[in-house]
Amino acid sequence: MRVFNNISEIERDEKTVLTIGTFDGVHLGHQQIIKKVVEISKSESLRNLIITFYPHPRKIINPNSTISLLTTQDEQAEILNLLGIENHLKINFTRSFAEITSYQFIKEFIVERIGIKKIVIGHDHHFGKSREGNVDFLKSISAEFGFDVIEILPFEIDSKVVSSSVIRNELQNGNITSANKMLGRNYFFTGEVINGDGRGRTLGYPTANIKLDDEDKLLPMLGIYVVFIFIDGVRYNGLLSVGKRPTFYNDGSIVPEVFIYDFQSDIYGKKVKVEILEKIRGEEKFDSAEELIKQMDSDKENGIKIFNKLNQLNN
């Protein structure tokens, strides 16, 4: 996949099928749009292109709001590439860009500078100043500029429309299984293993403390989770703790740390990927280190049971 950070890097080609959006999470709803773009590009010999925006537009339009990302730029690129996207334009979203009308955007950016034959768009996507552009707007100007509009209807799972905001809520409530179902994959994050306070090792449970690649990346609800952790491309079973370690700290920062089953190697400084499979329990404060160790022993056994169950399902 070719990635463009500036529109000037792209050659104009009218034989282009494209889509536009933030696509945070690249969930199953997004994938319906992307698959249609790829399908059309193959069947009609068109260049395929996806246009995304970074930072997330909400951070620029409303600086006081917080937005937790389901995918970082690198994670999103990895997924888009796997889905068959050949060209990816990342537009730097600024205050001045936010003032561009939807008509200006289509005419000056899409038609005149990129070229377009077809655009695939989600039913509820809005763009341009004050979010005035949508499917109906695109259909109203399509004849003027000579392109076709393909609308993708809502994608539902269990009678619930899949969206990035719904998935964020599921993760923040610890509903990992539901979030993974809507994503079409295990939710994951990446980061570098850094030095911690070493307390896990003294308790008999050494952990890899992980510094996230992007501070805006969303972590799930505080608690203990069964995970896969990938180190140098090799997958290991683990338990993830997302929490403030209230047994030892009154006001600690949130730290993601992974206990890796049957693992002894030094991995400080290595970049790892963590896929979250299932929640075991929420974060708890214990009266003593002994009580915490007892609970960790139980977590370890529960994790083994879950991994055994997953192995049975996959065999």
**For the chain, what are the domain ranges?**
2-155, 186-288
pLDDT tens-place values along the chain, 315 residues long: 999 999 999 999 999 999 999 999 999 999 999 999 999 999 999 999 999 998 888 888 888 877 899 999 999 999 999 999 999 999 999 999 999 999 999 999 999 999 999 999 998 899 998 889 999 999 999 999 999 999 999 999 988 899 999 999 999 999 999 999 999 999 999 999 998 765 566 666 788 999 999 989 999 999 999 999 999 999 999 999 998 765 556 566 788 999 999 998 889 999 999 999 999 999 887 777 788 889 889 999 999 999 999 888 776
Contact (CB, 8 A) for 94 and 53: no
Q: Can you give the pLDDT at residue 25?
A: 96
Distance CA 147, CA 84 (A): 22
Q: Can you give the pLDDT at residue 92?
A: 93
Maximum Cα interatomic distance, the chain, rounded to a whole number of Å: 73
Say if residue 55 is preceded by a cis peptide, omega within 30 of 0: yes
Edge-to-edge strands, sheet with 2-4 = 2-4, 87-92, 47-54, 16-20, 118-122, 148-152
Residues, the chain: 315
Q: Can you give the pLDDT at residue 285?
A: 79
The CATH H-level (homologous superfamily) assignment of domain 2-155 is HUPs (3.40.50.620)
Long-range contacts of 241-250 (CB under 8 A, 24+ apart): 241/207, 241/283, 242/283, 243/283, 244/283, 245/199, 246/283, 246/284, 246/285, 247/285, 247/286, 247/289, 247/292, 248/199
How many CA atoms are closer than 13 Å to the CA of 240, on its beta-carbon side?
A: 30
Contact (CB, 8 A) for 1 and 31: no
AA letter at 186 = N
In CATH, the architecture of 186-288 is: Beta Barrel (2.40)
pTM of the model: 0.90
